[in-house]
């Protein structure tokens, strides 16, 4: 792993009326950072202060060791607020990733959201109603951010995502405006429960640790109950995943988010490299030769019908899973502009996604029910 930059965020645990919980944070010991699955943040409690470390694994330069420390203060006197501090309680939030909206939603905090990025990609109905009513504003994207609007919104914090290269420059510009930014790497988490575990981070920030821990524990329990329900199955179907992009077919390693879900649902992903999470590029011919053994085809990019798949490449009509109609995509809950609730609400519902996949791969083992995030292409 490359050298990691750590963002340090010190927050005091003063109660927030919108989401009152206990002041403690239950720490686990399975990972060095105290989490069970999430690798890109750390929460620790010492006396009255809660310390957050956001582990940066996206910076383009390994020698960048800048860190940021935020001390939450209930003192609104500008002369008493130390540099790199944020006002407390946090009452006005901008979410630049739909996944962050989902964490806020799960904790009942969408009323604190005043700004978003890309309303056309958002699935949450309450947030969309806020945009329609003018209580929530779309501030735009990275390189075309509406900084004047952002200043007017006067948020206490902006939640965003860290990515490599110059696309991160907008974060520095927001900080130059005197607005605090927390860049998260939840999208980098490989385990479905690792993405879910960010509820603990948001719960700590908004003093909802009890609620966050309760939701996490309940979802984790349902997830493992589902996984256990098919553990004795001997016939594991072969899975073809994704579709080519400009003649390149990317297949994730077995430690990847989708690979973990498929494995836990009782499937085996073809051409998945062991011991890695990164996606490996394959040429179309290589994957096509292996596709003949696939029982199911999952997540074929943005395709919405079997006919679209056939027309996209003449070879596809010969793939057995397509010929038998066993093609499922995770775009059942999609906005008109292509936003996916699979990557929004789905980060807080890995048990529901797993149940979908078990329904697809092993329908004989579960009660018949409608798929939530997946749909069978026709």
Whether residue 146 sits in one domain with residue 248: no
Range among 4-18, 91-105, 175-189, 198-212 rated most confident? 91-105
Residues 77 and 46 in one domain: yes
Residue 264 lies in a domain: yes
How does pLDDT run across 176-195, given as a tens digit for each residue? 998 888 888 899 999 999 99
For residue 342, what pLDDT is reported?
97
Which pLDDT score, from 0 to 100, does residue 167 have? 63
Higher-pLDDT residue of 211, 172: 211
Same structural domain, 293 and 342: yes
User: Which has the higher per-residue pLDDT, 356 or 141?
Assistant: 356
SS3 content of the chain, % helix, strand, coil (to 5): 35, 20, 45
In this prediction, residue 161 carries a pLDDT of: 87
Mean pLDDT of 369-378: 94
Confidence of residue 169 (pLDDT cuts 50, 70, 90): confident
- Domain ends where: 222, 250, 280? 222
**Domains in the chain: how many in total?**
2
Mean pLDDT value across residues 55-60? 64
Residue 228 lies in a domain: no
| CATH number of the domain where residue 212 is located | 3.40.50.1980
Question: Does some domain include residue 303?
Answer: yes
Burial of 368 (0-12, 13-18, 19+ CB in 10 A): exposed
Of the two residues 6 and 148, the one the predictor is more confident about is 148
Residue 155: is its pLDDT beyond 50? yes
Domain that holds residue 135: 5-222
| 338 located within any domain | yes
Sign of CA dihedral 61, 347, 291, 314: negative
Residue 229 lies in a domain: no
- CA separation, residue 57 to residues 37, 64, 161, 202, 254 (Å): 16, 11, 11, 20, 20
84 and 202 share a domain? Answer: yes
Q: Are residues 77 and 194 in the same domain?
A: yes
Burial class (CB in 10 A: 0-12, 13-18, 19+), 299: buried
Contact 133, 189 (CB under 8 A): no
Reported confidence tier of residue 42, pLDDT bands at 50, 70, 90 = confident
Among 10-14, 166-170, 201-205, name the one with the lowest average pLDDT. 10-14
User: What average pLDDT does range 307-321 have in this prediction?
Assistant: 94
The CA-to-CA distance between both ends of the chain, in Å, stands at 43
217 and 239 share one domain: no
Which of 3-7, 52-56, 245-249, 298-302 comes out lowest in average pLDDT?
3-7
Q: Which of 222, 249, 272 is the endpoint of a domain?
A: 222
Q: Are residues 251 and 320 in the same domain?
A: yes
- 157 with 268, same domain: the answer is no
Residues 74 and 208 in one domain: yes
Distance of CA 147 to the CA centre of its chain: 25
In a domain, 112, yes or no: yes
Q: Residue 164: which pLDDT band, with cuts at 50, 70 and 90?
A: low
The pLDDT, as a whole number, for residue 204 is 84
Q: Are residues 247 and 217 located together in one domain of the fold?
A: no
- Residue 374's nearest CA partner among 360, 365, 250, 203 is 360
Among 182, 201, 222, residue at a domain's last position: 222
Same domain for 282 and 189: no
* Cβ density class 334-348: b for 16+ within 10 Å, e for less: bbeeebbbbbbbbbb
Whether 189 and 331 map to the same domain: the answer is no
Would 270 be classed as within a structural domain? yes
Region class of 207: left (phi > 0), else alpha (psi between -120 and 50), else beta? left
CB atoms within 10 A of CB 4: 15
Q: Please list the alpha-helical segments (H only) found in 119-208.
A: 125-133, 147-153, 169-176, 192-196, 198-205
- What is the model's pLDDT at position 63? 39
Residue 227, in any domain of the structure: no
- Rounded Cα gap, residues 246 and 254, in angstroms: 23
- pLDDT (tens digit, 9 = 90+) per residue, 84-111? 455 667 899 999 999 999 999 999 999 9
């Amino acid at each position: 792993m490359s050298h990691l930059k750590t963002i340090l965020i010190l927050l005091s645990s003063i109660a927030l009326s919108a989401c009152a919980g206990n002041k403690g944070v239950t720490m686990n010991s399975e990972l060095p950072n105290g989490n069970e699955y999430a690798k890109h943040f750390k929460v620790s409690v010492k006396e009255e202060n809660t310390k957050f470390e956001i582990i940066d694994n996206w910076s383009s330069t390994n020698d960048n060791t800048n860190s940021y420390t935020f001390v939450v203060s209930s003192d609104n006197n500008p002369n008493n607020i130390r540099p790199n501090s944020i006002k407390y309680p946090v009452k006005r939030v901008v979410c630049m990733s739909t996944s962050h909206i989902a964490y806020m939603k799960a904790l009942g905090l969408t009323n604190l959201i005043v700004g978003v990025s890309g309303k056309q990609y958002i699935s949450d109905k309450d947030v969309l109603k806020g945009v329609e009513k003018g209580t929530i504003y779309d501030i735009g994207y990275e390189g075309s951010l509406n900084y004047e609007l952002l200043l007017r919104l006067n948020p206490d914090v902006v939640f965003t995502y860290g990515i490599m290269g110059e696309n991160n420059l907008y974060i520095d510009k927001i900080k130059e405006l005197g607005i605090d930014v927390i860049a998260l790497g939840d999208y980098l988490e490989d385990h479905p429960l690792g993405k879910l575990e960010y509820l603990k981070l948001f719960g700590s920030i908004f003093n909802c640790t009890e609620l966050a821990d309760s939701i996490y524990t309940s979802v984790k329990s349902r997830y493992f109950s589902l996984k256990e329900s098919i553990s004795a199955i001997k016939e594991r179907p072969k899975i073809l995943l994704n579709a080519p992009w400009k003649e390149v077919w990317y297949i994730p390693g077995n430690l990847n988010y989708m690979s973990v879900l498929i494995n836990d649902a009782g499937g085996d992903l073809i051409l998945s490299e062991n011991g890695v999470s990164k996606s490996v590029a394959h040429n179309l011919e290589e994957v096509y030769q292996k596709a003949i053994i696939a029982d199911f085809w999952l997540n074929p990019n943005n395709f919405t019908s079997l006919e679209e798949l056939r027309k996209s490449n003449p070879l596809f009509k010969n793939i057995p899973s397509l010929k038998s109609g066993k093609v499922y995509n995770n775009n059942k809950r999609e906005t008109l502009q292509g936003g996916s609730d699979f990557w929004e609400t789905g980060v807080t519902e890995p048990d529901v996604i797993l149940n979908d996949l078990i329904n697809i791969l092993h329908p004989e083992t579960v009660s018949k029910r409608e798929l939530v995030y997946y749909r069978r292409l026709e």
